[in-house]
Chain A
Amino acid sequence: MWKYISKRLLIAIPTIILISFAIFFIIQLPEGDYISSYISRMTSEGERFTEADIQALRAQYGLDKPWYAQYFVWMVNIVTKGDFGYSFAYSRPVWSVIMDRLPLTIIVSLTIMIFTYAVSIPIGIYSALHQYSVGDYIFTAIGFLGMAIPNFLLAIILMYTSFKWTGDPLIGLFSTDMLQNGIHFYNIGEFLKHMIIPTIVIGTSGTCKVIRTVRAQMLDESVKQYTLTARAKGVSERVITYKYCLRAALNPVVSGLASSLSSIFSGSTISAIVMNLAIQGPVLYDALKVQDMYLAGTILLVQAILIIIGTLISDIVLAALDPRIRLAERGA
């Protein structure tokens, strides 16, 4: 087991290097750099720059070198000094900007993920056990609708509904009380209330995908020979459903873990902009817009690494779930 994990982590290193290279390449693709967008903002406010000023600024930030040289310096600093570069827009080291929001981002993403699985797996089982029942149709319809409405619109519609019903559109993650008096035990409920809309909005698309997978898999498993055998020898329906079929049905769900993490990151970017959530999405969006490249690059890198860790976890869970998969032997 440990051998397998360490081997997988070793394989992940070249992948991460490749990803970081791709990220850096993509970020520098748009014309201009932070200095040019900075200067155009400053000139619109009436400042004047000479060509020499601009050159000096570029040299100061290391932007005068070609992009692959910048990438190399960035990477070397990360590996040797743990220095992720300097955020131009925040005038602070990138890592401190990221740490402002990383814990909350992880909390929000994990909550959404737990919600997705906690809701969709039971619904998927229910839909499979009661195929073509009213409940099955209702869940299918809700699932499809969730998939068909663009995230940002769903967010706005839900905030509007909440405003109509309760007079509070639930913008952001914290209530005014929490912002003024700090987070205490008594107002943690407020936070949970503010999590409802983000969870529904970001979680729905993933939820209905899992519901459909579980439902289809359960239906497939329920007509297989081993189920028939089990039933013939008198195993109770409960055991057949939860111990036999479900275990096999969860296989594709678990292997989709990493991709669902990736879609949560993507989905939360847009939704967080609409709902003004203090997570990393909006920071990334602004960083990409003003070409604050080290900040954008680091956020993307952190997300990619989290996704890779997610893949690893899903492979381990898969092995625990399916005794036919032997990690250690395959890894060794």
Chain B
Amino acid sequence: MALFKKKEKNNEDYYLASQWTLMGRKLVKHRLARISMFILGFLYISALFANFIAPYNLTAYDSKYMNLQPTKVHMFHEGNFEGPFVYGIDVERDAKTKQKIYVENDEVYKVQFFVKGSEYKLLGLFKTDRHLFGVEEGGKIFLFGADSMGRDLFSRMFLGSQISLTIPFVGASISFILGLLLGGISGYFGGMVDNVIQRVIEVLSSLPTIPLWMALSAAIPANISVVKVYLYITIILSFISWTGLARVVRGKFISLRNEDFVMAAKLAGVTDFKIILKHLVPGFLGYLIVNVTLEIPSMIIGETSMSFLGLGIRSPATSWGVLLEETKTITSIATYPWRLIPLFAVILTVLAFNFLGDGLRDAADPYK
């Protein structure tokens, strides 16, 4: 009897649940979407604490260790357990090619946790100099190797994620607002306004994106602060991508504006603005969120392409695109394959956003 009661209660729950609760439940059931949410949560939290996780800061470099291969972390020294440690690095010349090679010597530098390092502001608020890990004085740890200036790739990848993960987010939000607003106006009012907006969309989407980026980013003035460049890039990316969303919103508005409930609201004297916001938008908000989620990965790829063309963030600031730009020749991949490591971060993020978007789409579909 108790069991039966419980089931009935669940049923009641189901029928009384709001649309959003239902969506949430379905989303959690989608296995890939759930895993993706964890991965994205992890990535964003690590971006938030990037300064703490990274053993070195943005400006740190050591020309002695140019293009150093990833440092190996050892556990045993001459048969004795020492805990995690790294060996010191000697620079030698290859007898044949005369190229710089790096060999481990037998100096032991222990890996330590919560060590003192360069000063930074945690979450932009608290001044501190603690880092998650580091090695004893005199040693160097390059988990993912070093770049052509002897900068630690591991640190730069985490610090770069701050930019690479937020640009698409901010950009997608801007294009979401633009698309909703312009698509809404176009679809709801129709007529002349609709015509003008549609022509603008048509023109923007007939232009191949890359030349547009090139021209627009060439218009970014030189010698401005990194933050401003960042802002400009975000605006450029969203300026191009809002058109697709606006089309969708317009279509939805056109199909909804002749519904009886809109007519009823109009007769009751509700203002246009309120009808749009309270009666129309909630009807397809789920769909829009899916669209925005699927927009983010293409913006991440867009950011890397812009950096590849030298149009993105400038040194010493970094992003995944800037890091990948170093791999743009075959020789660099052949000789320094570890430079491809940031690519895995890009792939992981793009896949996670795609799967999350898929899950959201299934969850937002009331007929499934």
Contact = CB atoms under 8 A, between A and B. Distances in A.
B206 interface: yes
B245 to A, nearest CB: 14
A151 B329 CA distance: 13
B327 A156 contact: yes
Contact of A15 (B203, B214, B218): B203
A69 interface: no
Contact of A270 (B206, B305, B340): B305
Interface centre among B211, B216, B327, B340 (most CB of A within 10 A): B211
Interface in B188-218: 199, 202-212, 214-216, 218
Contacts of A262: 205-209
Contacts of B330: 156, 159-160, 163, 169
B350 A148 contact: yes
Contacts of A31: 219, 221
Contacts of A307: 206
B40 to A, nearest CB: 14
Interface in A144-188: 144-145, 147-153, 156-157, 159-160, 163, 169
B347 A266 contact: no
B276 to A, nearest CB: 27
Interface string A278-297: 00000011001100000010
B346 to A, nearest CB: 7
A266 B333 CA distance: 24
Contacts of A148: 297, 301, 346-347, 350-351, 354
A274 B279 CA distance: 50
B364 to A, nearest CB: 14
A29 B210 contact: no
B343 interface: yes
Contact of A149 (B219, B308, B334, B343): B343
A310 B49 CA distance: 48
B308 A270 contact: yes
A265 B208 contact: yes
B298 to A, nearest CB: 8
Given A150-B346, A153-B324, A284 B211 contact: yes
Contacts of B304: 150, 153
Interface residues on B, range: 35 or more
A214 interface: no
Contacts of A30: 215, 218-219
B329 to A, nearest CB: 7
B261 to A, nearest CB: 27
Interface string A7-19: 0000000010011
B202 A15 contact: yes
A163 B309 CA distance: 24
Interface in B210-239: 210-212, 214-216, 218-219, 221
Given A150-B308, A262-B205, A26 B343 contact: no
A269 interface: yes
A150 B207 contact: no
A157 B211 contact: no
A22 interface: yes
Interface in B328-349: 328-330, 333-334, 340, 343, 346-347
A266 B215 contact: no
A26 B347 contact: no
Nearest to A307: B206
A319 interface: no
Contacts of B204: 22
B350 A303 contact: no
A159 B209 CA distance: 25
B351 A15 contact: no
B205 A19 contact: no
B215 to A, nearest CB: 4
A109 B94 CA distance: 46
B220 to A, nearest CB: 9
B334 to A, nearest CB: 6
Contacts of A169: 330
B343 A18 contact: no
Interface in A246-282: 259, 262-263, 265-266, 269-270, 274
B206 A151 contact: no
Contact of A269 (B211, B221, B340, B343): B211
Nearest to B325: A152
B347 A149 contact: yes
B153 to A, nearest CB: 16
8 tightest CB-CB pairs across the interface, nearest first? A30-B218, A148-B350, A29-B219, A265-B208, A266-B208, A26-B215, A148-B347, A266-B210
Given A15-B203, A262-B206, A269-B208, 14 more contacts: A15-B199, A15-B202, A15-B206, A19-B203, A30-B218, A148-B297, A148-B347, A148-B350, A150-B343, A156-B328, A159-B330, A262-B207, A266-B209, A274-B328
17 contacts: A15-B202, A18-B199, A22-B204, A29-B218, A29-B219, A30-B215, A147-B354, A148-B350, A150-B343, A163-B334, A263-B208, A266-B209, A270-B210, A284-B211, A289-B214, A300-B207, A307-B206
